[in-house]
A and B are shown apart, each in its own frame.
Chain A
Amino acid sequence: MAGEAIAPGRKQTGSGIHPAGLFQSASFQRAIGRGILYLIAVSSSAVFMFPFVWTVLSSLKRGGELFRFPPTWLPEVPQFQNYPKVFEIVSWATWTWNSTFVAIVSTFGAVLTAALVGYSFARFRYPARDVLFIITLSTMMLPVEVTLIPLYLMFAKIGWLDSYRPLIIPSFFGGSAFLIFLMRQFFMSIPIDLDEAARIDGANYLRIFWQILMPLSIPVTATAAVLTFMAQWNEFLQPFIFLNTKSKYTLAIGIRYFQAVAGFADDTEPKYHLLMAASVMMTAPIIIIFFLAQRYLVQGIVMSGIKG
């Protein structure tokens, strides 16, 4: 639905009516107006994209070139070897793997359980359901700070600190209120007649969920998965607090560690160009996923926002 609606295309029918003035001057004015709009669109795109462009260009410079005054746009000779160099200086490959692992496993858990819980909210009638749903929504407003300290203490007590368990296992308990809400809204848009027909044919609840509802929910599931993956990939606070060993870092805390040492390394040359390369490498997968899943993603974001 919304994926198409987002695209441009609706003519502004009302804007042509000008009570006075010659036809020529009106169309001339409109051309000027369009021109200004294009100018704004192009220049704001440039503003938004500039930090990326600057980062990519910086990542291809020699270390010293970054400190040149006045700053230069283009690298003298593009230093593509900066990228492999990041892998040598810090455990970039390990961190990338760690991030991927944590993000994939917790996304799997979160989406699967959020779908089950969303199914429960969407399709079953039971006492306290609506109250529980409101409680669920209100947890979106809860600051993690209130729960973080006890969680840390709890994970310390059961020996989970410095492992991925605190980052992964909680995802298997419904994911998040947002995901549950997303799944519930989608399930509610599927006609209940389908469930009932399957029930008459003897399917149980789990089977209805798995063979009727889920196959119809592939787009929303993809959206949920992509959004969760991105959030996990970017997550800073939790890995920062729960992980200690450098080889267990995820990219988010790895890159912060790298940043902290980049300026003060023992050798002579600062490593900001490599830090820029690292930022590019951390961001690239997210952007690639965005391009692959753009349609689903936009649709999901819009759906969650409009109904809210």
Chain B
Amino acid sequence: MRTEAAAGSRIPLPRWTTNLRTKEAIAGYIFLSPWLLGIILFIVGPMMTSGFLSFTRYDIVNPPEFVGLKNFIEIFSKDRLFWPSLLLTFRYALIVVPLSLIGALAAAMLLNQALLGTTWFRTFFFLPHLTPIVAAAVLWGWIFNADVGPINHWIRTITGSDNAPGWFRDPDWAMTGLIIMAMWGAIGGNTMLIFLAGLQGVPQELYDAAVVDGAGIWAKFRNVTLPMLTPTIFFNMVLGIIGALRVFAAAYVATQGGPAYSTWFYALHIYTRAFQYFEMGYASALAWIFFFVLFVFTYVQFRQSRRWVYYAGEVD
């Protein structure tokens, strides 16, 4: 069973293929090919298509009709839900991500205190993260039930008044409800586990040195722990914000974007225009604007990161 390198040796090949490096390159591309094909078929191709569609009016039934910048002009000038949905999506992400990062770090530090039963605490913190988002939305919908839900019962008991938030039924509170739900799933999740490993990877000498220099608990945290964790914080922040900006399932199941459009996230806006109104051109324009905004936002984060992210062993 001695078949030669994946390039295949049965067919007489031109001389250059016998070169080892070339063979290696060919084999490398062969192993890469599923992904290369996947990128073309499922990422680059579709992106170009939706870029094209964004300049058309397309309702699926009739062929796409080129309309120039009309979709974009309409989005910026006439679409009453565009700015609100974009802003509230950002507001959501900029609340959920920092808070859950802080929560995850706090939880990781708690788990790093060598308490008895840490494995159990870790599991308890982690389980919400495993809950399917749809199931979480269903069960939180019940917990936040305005009339007979446990949360409102406690709020009424503690405050002694009958006024309790309507949560998912209340335009002023629906967003808060979704934020609480998201934090429940995010704090004890992957980020916490990564922080925990990061904390355990901080060399003890650094702490010892800090103590010799007279550092207290806060100074040790501020000057040793935090700088050592910045790469992780950055990584999770970038991916976390992108994930949070794309929020769809939680909102769709828990609130359907309501009440009164108070949780009408951007992804929901795209979905509605594309798959309920079948305005594929318009929705593609919305999607491209979103992509552009995300790109700029991520780029800025990378630029900023040079100022605060510290890579300990900058090798590789």
Verify B150–A54 contact, CB threshold 8 A. yes
Tell me the bound Cα distance from A86 to B25 in angstroms: 55
Quote the shortest CB–CB distance from B46 to chain A (angstroms): 4
Tell me the bound Cα distance from A276 to B295 in angstroms: 39
Tell me which of A120, A145, A298 contacts B246 (CB under 8 A): A145
Tell me the bound Cα distance from A154 to B43 in angstroms: 12
Tell me the bound Cα distance from A199 to B27 in angstroms: 14
Tell me the bound Cα distance from A14 to B114 in angstroms: 14
Tell me which of B6, B124, B142 contacts A272 (CB under 8 A): B142
1/0 per residue A226-244: CB within 8 Å of B? 0000100110110011000
Asked if A45 is at the interface of the complex by the 8 Å CB criterion, the answer is yes
**Assuming A11-B114, A120-B31, A150-B50, is B193 touching A6 (CB within 8 A)?**
yes
Binds A, one of B67-75, B77-85, B94-102, B104-112: B104-112
Tell me the bound Cα distance from A152 to B115 in angstroms: 51
1/0 per residue B193-234: CB within 8 Å of A? 110111011001001101100000000100000000001100
Tell me which of A117, A147, A305 contacts B34 (CB under 8 A): A117
Q: Which residues in A have their C-beta under 8 angstroms from that of B294?
A: 141, 143
Binds B, one of A20-28, A170-178, A214-222: A170-178
Asked if A67 is at the interface of the complex by the 8 Å CB criterion, the answer is yes
Quote the shortest CB–CB distance from A134 to chain B (angstroms): 12
Asked if B143 is at the interface of the complex by the 8 Å CB criterion, the answer is yes
Asked if A159 is at the interface of the complex by the 8 Å CB criterion, the answer is no
Verify A279–B124 contact, CB threshold 8 A. no
Verify B239–A140 contact, CB threshold 8 A. yes
Asked if B272 is at the interface of the complex by the 8 Å CB criterion, the answer is no
Tell me the bound Cα distance from A219 to B79 in angstroms: 50
Tell me the bound Cα distance from A229 to B208 in angstroms: 43
Q: How many chain A residues touch the partner (CB < 8 A)?
A: 104
Quote the shortest CB–CB distance from A209 to chain B (angstroms): 8
Tell me the bound Cα distance from A66 to B143 in angstroms: 11
Verify A230–B130 contact, CB threshold 8 A. yes
Verify A237–B197 contact, CB threshold 8 A. no
Give the interface SS of chain A, mostly helix, strand, loop or mixed: helix
Asked if B29 is at the interface of the complex by the 8 Å CB criterion, the answer is yes
Verify A71–B115 contact, CB threshold 8 A. no
Verify A143–B31 contact, CB threshold 8 A. no
**Assuming A49-B124, A113-B34, is B198 touching A55 (CB within 8 A)?**
no
Asked if B262 is at the interface of the complex by the 8 Å CB criterion, the answer is no
- Interface footprint category on B: 35 or more
Q: Which residues in B have their C-beta under 8 angstroms from that of A2?
A: 197
Tell me the bound Cα distance from A139 to B291 in angstroms: 12
B42 — nearest CB in chain A belongs to which residue?
A: A170
Tell me which of A48, A174, A301 contacts B194 (CB under 8 A): A301
Verify A44–B148 contact, CB threshold 8 A. no
Q: Which residues in A have their C-beta under 8 angstroms from that of B119?
A: 7-8
Verify A141–B238 contact, CB threshold 8 A. yes
**Assuming A8-B118, A48-B125, is B60 touching A156 (CB within 8 A)?**
yes
Binds A, one of B10-18, B169-177, B281-289: B281-289
Tell me which of A38, A204, A287 contacts B4 (CB under 8 A): A204
Verify B3–A204 contact, CB threshold 8 A. yes
A201 — nearest CB in chain B belongs to which residue?
A: B2
Tell me the bound Cα distance from A39 to B38 in angstroms: 51
Asked if A200 is at the interface of the complex by the 8 Å CB criterion, the answer is no
Tell me the bound Cα distance from A305 to B133 in angstroms: 22
Verify A237–B130 contact, CB threshold 8 A. no
**Assuming A113-B34, A127-B25, is B135 touching A287 (CB within 8 A)?**
no
Asked if A80 is at the interface of the complex by the 8 Å CB criterion, the answer is no
Asked if A85 is at the interface of the complex by the 8 Å CB criterion, the answer is no
Verify A144–B246 contact, CB threshold 8 A. yes
Tell me which of B126, B141, B210, B291 contacts A146 (CB under 8 A): B291
Q: Which 10 pairs, one residue from A and one from B, show the smallest C-beta to C-beta distance?
A: A173-B38, A124-B28, A174-B35, A305-B194, A120-B31, A126-B25, A150-B46, A150-B49, A236-B249, A147-B46
Given contacts A209-B31, A301-B193, 16 further A-B contacts (CB under 8 A): A41-B115, A45-B121, A48-B187, A51-B143, A52-B131, A69-B153, A129-B28, A145-B246, A146-B47, A150-B49, A150-B284, A154-B49, A173-B38, A236-B249, A259-B253, A282-B135
* Sample of 6 A–B contacts (CB below 8 Å): A10-B200, A48-B127, A48-B128, A54-B142, A170-B38, A290-B127
A contacts, CB < 8 Å to B = 2, 5-14, 17, 34, 37-38, 40-41, 44-45, 48-49, 51-52, 54-55, 58, 66-71, 113, 116-117, 119-121, 123-127, 129, 132, 135-136, 139-154, 156, 170, 172-174, 180, 202, 204-206, 209, 230, 233-234, 236-237, 240-241, 251-253, 255-256, 259, 272, 275-276, 278-279, 282-283, 286-287, 290, 294, 298, 301-302, 305-306, 308
